[in-house]
Each structure stands twice: as C-alpha cells, then as structure tokens.
Amino acid sequence: MKQLLAHKDNQTGREQTLKAHLTQVSAQMCQNLGMLSFPMANRPEDLLYRVGRGHDIGKATEWFQRHLNDPEYRNPLSRHAMISAAIYAQKYWDNRDIVEFLGFLAIRCHHGNLDASYPSLEIPDAEINGMYWGLTTQLESCKKQCQGMDEADWIPDDLDLEQIHKNWRKTMKRIRLLKSPEPFFLLQYVFSKLISADKLDSASLLEQTGKLMQGDVEAVLEEKRKTAVVHLNSSRDKIRNTVLHQISTLSEEQLRKQRIFTITAPTGTGKTLTGLSAALALADRLEQAEKQRPHLISAVPFINILEQAIADYQSVFGDVLVHFGASDPAEFDSRMQEMPLQDQMLLTVSWEAPVVLTTFVQLFESILTGINKRLLKLNRLAGAIVLLDEVQAIKAEYYPLFAAVMDCMATYYGTRFILMTATQPKLFDCAQYTTKIQYKPQKPLELLPDYPIYFRQLHRTKLVPRWDELQSLETVCDAILEQSEKYNSILCVVNRVQDSIDLYHMLEKCDKEILYLSTNIVSVDRKAVIQRAKEYLNPENPVPFIMVSTQTIEAGVDLDFDMAFRDLAPMESIIQSAGRVNRSGSKGIDSPIILFDTGHYNKVYSDIACKLVRKTIQNEVKEADYQQMLTQYFDSVVSSDTTFDTEIYCKGILELDYEKLDEFHMIEQQDRATVLVMKDDIIEDMVQELCNLMREPEHSFEKNAEIQKKLSQIGAYTVEVYPNKILKNLPPKFKDCFDIDLNYYVADRMDWQRYYSGKTGFIAESGIMLF
C-alpha cells in the first residue's frame, strides 16, 4: 500500500512520510524548552507534544496526497490546517478549556498568520465534511502508517462543528474576563514552536539546532588593553570585576528567581564587553543549576551600532548569527557558508544559533505580532539571555508595555534580560502612573550597584545651555565657526534632515573641512563618512574638521570629538551626544556640549520630554552631576502627562486581538518612497544580477532565496524619502528603467547626480546640483 506523505520535492525526488514528519515535529517541539512556567498548563510539554502530533493529520486526505504528486493539481479540499485543527478539537478541546483552545488555534493558523477572531475560524460545513470524508476514505491507510502513534485513533466518527464554534465563543469570553497575559504568551510560544519545528523538519535542518554558546572575553580584553588609555583600563576592569562579582555571589534562590538585570555605566567604559562577560558568567551559573545552557540574543536599537559591534562579537564567539533587514546569513557564521541559500535564510529568521546579534525592531516586533514569519524566532527567547544595549532608545510611551512584556517573558519563558546603558530609563517604575496595565514587575537587579561613583569621578564633559541665544541655524553656524578657532574637531547634532543639510551648506562656504552624516545618505556612504571621521580623529595625525549630523550618530558610533553642539532633545539623547565627546578623557576636563533650540524638536521627539529638558538644564551641568540630573528628569517623565501606550497590552495581549497588535511598530510608520542610488559599478552589477534572476521563468525556493538576498544587498544603496520631498525631484520608477515591477525609484548610473549628492544625499529640489 502506498505510504502517506507529508512532503515531496518533485525536483529532487526527496520524500518524507507523514508518520516521520509528525513524529519528528512533536519530538522537536518538546526539546530546548528552557524554563517554561505556565500555571494554566501544568506540563506545557504535553500540550506541545499533542499539537506537534496532530498539526498535519489532515494531510492524510486523498486530495492533499494528489497535490503532492501533482503540483498543478488545485482543490480546496487539499487544504489541511483546518481539518487538522478540527480533529484536534474533537479529541482534546471541550468545556471551554483555554489551553486546548490555544492548541487548536496554533494548528488552525500554522500555514498563515495567528488570528483568534471568529472570521478566521469560519469555513463552509460542506468543505469541512468533504475533507472529513476524504480522511475516512484514507482511514485504513492512515492507521497502518501511524502504527504505534496516537493519531491513528484520533479520527472521530463525526465532527461536531457547531460545538466547536460554540466552544470558541465561550473560551474567548473566558479569556477576556480572565484579563491575564498568560494565554497570549502561551499561544505565541506554542505557535512559534510549531511553525519553527515544522519548517526546520521539512527542510531537514533539525540537526543544525541545539548548538551551545561558548566564548572568551578575556583574550579580547587583553588585546584592547594594549591600546587603551591607562586610567580607562583601570575603570573598565573595576566595572567588569564588580559585575562578575555580583553574578558569582547570587544565591541559588536569586539565581532562580531574579531574571531582569541592569548595567548602568558611563559611555566609553566598555559596556559591550562587560555585558558579554556578564552573559557568559550568568550562562555558566544557569547551566550548573538548571542543567541546560542558555543561548544569547543581543539586540541594539540601530543598525549602525550593530555593524560596529560585530567585530567584538566575532572576537569573543567566533561564529555569530547577525540578523537585520540587509544582513547576509553566511557572512558572520561559517557553518552556513556551505549550505543552500534558502537553508541559510531559514536558520537566520529562526534564530537557530547559540549567539544572535539583532535589532530592537527584529526582537520586539517578533513578540508583539501574529505574523507567521516573525514568530518563527520567538520560541528562541525561552530560557535565553537577552542583552538589550542602549535601552534608553525605547520611546517613553512604551515604558509600561515593554516593562510588562519583559516581565511576562521572564515569568513564563524563563528569559533573563540584561539592560545596558549610560542613561537607564525608568522602564519598571512607571506602572504606578497608569492604572490600565495591572502587573507587578520584578524589580531589576543592578549589576553595578556603585555606578554613581564612576559617574562622579568623570570630568570629561559639561552641558552648556544657550537655549535663548542660539535659536536659528544662522546663529548656530556662527557659534560653531567661533569655536572652531579653539577646537580641532566639532560635532553638531540637529533634529531634522533638512536642518542638517541647510547647516552643512552654511558651513561649507567657510574654509573648513566639513563631514555630513544622516539617513539622507545611503548606508555605504554613511560607513565611508564614519571611517573618514575616524581617520581625521587619529591623535597621531589629526585633521581639523566639523561634522554635521542627525541623531544617527548618538549611540554606538565610536568617535571622539573635542566638543559638540546639540539641538534640544530628550535628556537621554543629549547625554548620548555627549558620549561622542572626550570619550577617553584625554582631551582635558569639561569639554563643552553647547545646547541650542531651533524649535524643531516636536517634529521628532515628545513635546513633554523636551520641555522637561529645558526646565531641568538652566545652568551649566558637569559630567559628575549627570546621574543626579537624569534621575530628576526620568522621575519627571514618568510622573508627567506622558501618554503611555496601553492599548497594545490591554487589547492585543489580554484579549488576543491581533488586529490591535498589527498597530505596534518600533519605528513610526510613515509613507516614504525608496530611492535606489546607482552610483558605482557594484550596485549596477547587483541590479543587473537581480533583474536576470527575476526574468528567469523557473520558480524554486533557491531562486526566491537568491532574489531576497539581492534585495537585502541593494538596501545598502537606498535612501527613504518623504513624498513631499521626492515629488520636487522625482526619479523614474524601477519598472520604467528595467521593465520589472519593484517598489523603487531609480537614480540611474548615467544621471544619479541629478538626484543624489555624494556629500548630503538625496536632492529634494530639482536643479540643485551638489558636487
């Protein structure tokens, strides 16, 4: 008798039986569970096992089996997710049981996005009954194939669809009345575990999972000590030793219960490597206590920080999985280099590696979502150590939401968080100011408890408010030129791209070397500008210059200026800008950061936060007093009229409202046009290769993966432009240039300087040529 199949590759002839697939997926779902703790699911591994065993039982129908053998065959009855879910519900779900309802939803949605709303469960009874009839005709074959498996006994005599729908309505009502985040986090985990195991097994990649995190920070530190300033070495070593001592002296109970940590340390004191040391030390202790070693997920707010951190991570760990929009899966992970590209991409989006370096967007938008592709990686957060660097970048309106999410993940998933910054926001102190989010967050444990001492010892910079004196770009330009007579390198950070371009042109008229940095220039040019600035700042051969930038430069860019100017912004942004000045302390004391106000802050930042800054900084503030000032500021922020976003939690999480979750974005969604700048041979060749791929008639996973890789690479040559700007100097569309419908405007190779300046990026006004 012909075997029932789960998968078949008609190109290679590779087949997988349904029995093997259900067995392997259910086994994989019960592995690497971390420290899961769900009171409503006493043994979550039992739920995971049942869902894995039942998720594809609907593939036993004759219609699905025919579809596998004939890809051109199309029949609605070949769909298997709903019938698999209905069979699961008939066997396990009754009496409005929440846990089995979540299993039902995970199976129902596992080939699409998660959705608990009623319409997603509707399907004509005739179709269900037809699919059920197909199952019964294959019953004998199915039972023979599944000998020794529970599934052979799962297929019921009939399906009570009306009762399933009634149970759905009753169970959702119970969930809404419960007002607990537990159902949401359990469903997210079960769904993520299912789709991850399903895809990895289908691609025969399960053997690539389960690698352990190992690394050596000390060897990297030893190399850095050879070139660092002596007094900085001393501070860095003291900070790191204190952090490691705190971890080593945690009691067994603290180690088990304490899951949220902070490291608050001044800029330039080696937080990245200290954080990695802390993660490795914590992993060692957890492995000893829990008999399983956590993996590491490190997230930063901006891609430019990530790009600069890669070298340190590779030095410590060797292979690192780097995941952001334009990342190359195999570039930093040698184990992927011999794999087919589609396998590389699947392992990357699943975060199947012991060390992952990613962005806040990838992390948080993979938690607060119902999108299938994003949820692939969520299960990897269970039992992991998550390093959040530069955590001050989180918007104030999200404080209660993110505090609740991290607290829930620590509670239900056993995730450990380490939050690192020089300006620690009061994420976990704002619950008292909003009554909508009811939770008792775990109080974070500071791993550098004497951090105020390190701030009080610093005399590198001071804040100099000139709010009323400097209120226009013209006055700021004059002030910069005046200071350039005394200082070799000057940074000026403004809030808007247009202001940065205008100021650049004002300064360009003078006999000074001027550099420009913002998101108005493509990524490859940003990297080149940062590298040139590093060369100019070389103390052995310094070049006098002025850099005009937007907030792109604030965090993670390792540049050391003599002084700076900063437009009005939230306090954490001002302090981060100050962190680009006299970082090593080798430029004397009290290097000035002059503060001005062009009045354009409300285009970018919270009006309340910026007004609090002006109120707080009335006189000069020296670096030794920054911490006291920050405490006062953050106390004011969380007790002010800040509008905290609570709907995502109260509706999206507590009520399983995935439409509400769709509204969550780490970066505010605004209509922008993408301009592709074909300024050199490299991008011209990439575009030609992409077009050749897209014109090929054959369709395959490998081809689609190659196309996705090319699109990611092309991203380094694109810039996002507001519609009102691009309409004033509109490039042709990609389709008009290459007869392929991609959502780009193209500054082509022959005419790119009409649309793009090599100095300041996209040219918003037609006819303005910047060379």
* pLDDT tens-digit map of 514-544: 999 998 999 999 989 999 999 999 988 999 9
Q: Is the pLDDT of residue 657 over 60?
A: yes
Averaged pLDDT, 333-345 = 73
Range of 73-77, 89-93, 266-270, 415-419 with top mean pLDDT: 415-419
Q: Is the pLDDT of residue 375 over 70?
A: yes
What pTM does this model have?
Answer: 0.87
Residue 674's pLDDT is what?
92
Residue 393's pLDDT is what?
84
Q: How confident is the model at residue 139 (pLDDT cuts 50, 70, 90)?
A: very low
Residue 462's pLDDT is what?
96
Q: Is the pLDDT of residue 99 over 70?
A: yes
Among 248-252, 304-308, 720-724, the minimum mean pLDDT is found in 304-308
- Write phi, then psi, for 448 (nearest 5 degrees): -125, 75
Rounded-to-integer distance, Cα 756 and Cα 430, Å: 45
- Distance separating the N- and C-terminal Cα atoms of the chain: 74
Among 144-153, 171-180, 357-366, 563-572, the minimum mean pLDDT is found in 144-153
Sheet with 296-300, side-by-side order of all strands: 321-323, 355-359, 296-300, 385-389, 416-421, 260-264, 445-446
Residue 564's pLDDT is what?
97
- In 430-511, which ranges are continuous DSSP H helix? 451-456, 473-483, 497-508
> Residue 101: CB partners within 8 Å, gap ≥ 6?
93, 167, 168, 171
Give 236-285 pLDDT, tens digit per residue.
Answer: 889 999 999 999 999 999 999 999 999 999 887 888 899 999 999 999 99
Q: What angle do CA 329, 333, 339 make, to 5 degrees?
A: 65
Structure-block tokens of residue 338:
């011999």
**Residue of 212, 310, 240 whose CA lies nearest to 454:** 240
Q: How confident is the model at residue 10 (pLDDT cuts 50, 70, 90)?
A: confident
Q: How confident is the model at residue 365 (pLDDT cuts 50, 70, 90)?
A: very high
Residue 118's pLDDT is what?
65
Rounded-to-integer distance, Cα 384 and Cα 378, Å: 11
Among 24-33, 307-316, 330-339, 365-374, the minimum mean pLDDT is found in 330-339
More confident position, 26 or 129:
26
Averaged pLDDT, 575-584 = 89
3-state SS, residue 516:
strand
3-state SS, residue 88:
helix
Whole-angstrom CA distances from 742 to 127, 287, 324, 734 are: 37, 48, 21, 6
674: β partners: 720
Residue 164's pLDDT is what?
80
More confident position, 148 or 470:
470
Range of 151-165, 313-327, 591-605 with top mean pLDDT: 591-605
